[in-house]
Amino acid sequence: MANVLCVLYDDPVDGYPPAYPRDEIPTIERYHDGQPTPTPEGIGFRPGELLGCVSGELGLREFLEAGGHRLTVTSDKDGPDSAFERELPEADVVISQPFWPAYLTAERIAKAPSLKLAITAGIGSDHVDLQAAIERQITVAEVTYSNSISVSEHVVMMILALVRNYIPSYQVVVDGGWNIADCVERSYDLEGMQVGTVGAGRIGSAVLRRLKPFEVGLHYTDQHRLPESAEAELGLTFHPDASSLVEVCDVVTINAPLHPGTEGMFDDALLDQMKRGAYLVNTARGKICDRDAIARALESGRLAGYAGDVWFPQPAPRDHPWRSMPHHGMTPHVSGTSLSAQARYAAGTREILECFLDGRPIREEYLIVDAGALAGSGAHSYSAGDSTGGSDEAARFTEGRAG
């Protein structure tokens, strides 16, 4: 019998939805590189349902209880009195989503003697102290590729929203106005601009593919260079580092994981190298950017806009400067948790659990840490160490419990 502890975000304020705007979602069988989408033996939900909130339970309850396992689901994740900390000592498996991360720090791992598997229902396992997981031989797995396309669509949307000044123009309409000059005094065409991504993995390269028809110059930097054929097909310019990329780009998007090699990468020094009036879109992780340096760059005009959906900590405190800085297009962490994405990562979570419970190997591409070392996708894209520091701050939002 396994104890599975699952941390999910709260239900909608008006309760779990009785109906949805659409009756179905498209079936995707393979991703762009040919990798099959999740292949569990079964699923306990209808694709298109809200699965990532507490009542959605990732569709796991029937499956787990039929196998004699125990499933505990909570959204109460921060601070020493949280349900998460209370349940942790008994947990064999922890499941958490990056949108509402259960920060699995070294201290918490020390309080979980039975913990063998930490699953990220989604992509990005920086909320787990990977170093501590390595040392404790805990397997860390995520549902690689499950929401990469979801995020790439969001990135394209945010780039257009910032460059075209969409959000303030929408607000003019909502406010009953017709102030055209106010709308367009910060509005440009994307056509002809230079757009670069820091990280050209699944999301970054999908952003590049989606932007090609916009007739922009495309740039990237990455730890590993893409094949020549991919560079030629998209007309990409490779940069050896972020610094040489930002100097020439009008729009920069960050699509690298958070690990000790990327934490704090966009600081005052790197922002100062960007073109005046550049746009920055970060759907990767909040901590890749220096929080206060971003706010300063918007206030000084170094950046014309900043958008993204990732913060540190999450949930962001009410007084987080990214809520109130000028010319931002921030949302809560939503880009990778569309209903379409949820269907894939819930199925992938089930696939990982089936493998773990049957003693079968977990797909190599889902592994971040295994057998005391970085493994699979983790060995390719992460560096060992810890990026969870400071996560106690998240409790501040819950204490205020508003918004």
> Which positions are annotated as active-site residues?
147, 285, 314, 333
197 is a site residue for ligand NDP (CB under 6 A): no
Q: How far apart are CA 186 and CA 166, in angstroms?
A: 10
97 is a site residue for ligand NDP (CB under 6 A): no
Token readout for 87 is 């349940």
387 is a site residue for ligand NDP (CB under 6 A): no
Strands 367-370 and 139-142: antiparallel
Q: How far apart are CA 170 and CA 160, in angstroms?
A: 13
Q: How far apart are CA 256 and CA 388, in angstroms?
A: 16
Please list every residue from 238 through 267 that binds ligand NDP, using CB under 6 A: 255-258, 261-262
Please list every residue from 360 through 379 that binds ligand NDP, using CB under 6 A: 377
Which one of residues 202, 320, 344, 350 is an interface residue with ligand NDP (CB under 6 A)? Answer: 202
- Residues counted in the chain: 403
Contact 243, 270 (CB under 8 A): yes
Which residues lie across from 194 on neighbouring strands? 217
Closest separation in Å from C-beta 118 to ligand NDP: 15
Query: Mask: binding to ligand NDP, 111-130, rule CB under 6 A, as x and -?
Result: -----------xxx------
What phi, psi does 243 have (nearest 5°)?
-65, -40
Please list every residue from 219 through 238 that binds ligand NDP, using CB under 6 A: 221-224
Of 56-64, 173-181, 194-202, 362-370: span binding ligand NDP (CB under 6 A): 194-202
Q: How far is CA 202 from the centre of its chain?
A: 12
Contact 186, 168 (CB under 8 A): yes
Of 62-70, 182-190, 196-204, 229-237: span binding ligand NDP (CB under 6 A): 196-204
Contact 84, 102 (CB under 8 A): yes
Closest separation in Å from C-beta 27 to ligand NDP: 21
CA distances from 326 to 91, 178, 217, 305 (A): 43, 21, 27, 8
Burial 289-318 (b: 16+ CB within 10 A, else e): bbbebbbbbbeeebbbbbbbbbbbbbbbbe
Closest separation in Å from C-beta 50 to ligand NDP: 16
Query: Mask: binding to ligand NDP, 286-315, rule CB under 6 A, as x and -?
Result: -----------------------xx-----
- Nearest residue to ligand NDP on Cβ basis: 201
Please list every residue from 37 through 96 that binds ligand NDP, using CB under 6 A: none
User: What distance, in Å, lies between the first and last C-alpha atoms of the chain?
Assistant: 38
Cβ distance to ligand NDP smaller for residue 223 or 300: 223
340 is a site residue for ligand NDP (CB under 6 A): no
CA distances from 211 to 155, 164, 191 (A): 10, 15, 10
Q: How far apart are CA 171 and CA 148, in angstroms?
A: 29
Size of the site for ligand NDP (CB under 6 A): 34
Of 46-54, 65-73, 332-340, 390-398: span binding ligand NDP (CB under 6 A): 332-340
203 is a site residue for ligand NDP (CB under 6 A): yes
User: Which residues are near ligand NDP by CB under 6 A?
Assistant: 122-124, 147-148, 151, 198-204, 221-224, 255-258, 261-262, 283-285, 309-310, 333, 335-336, 377, 380-381
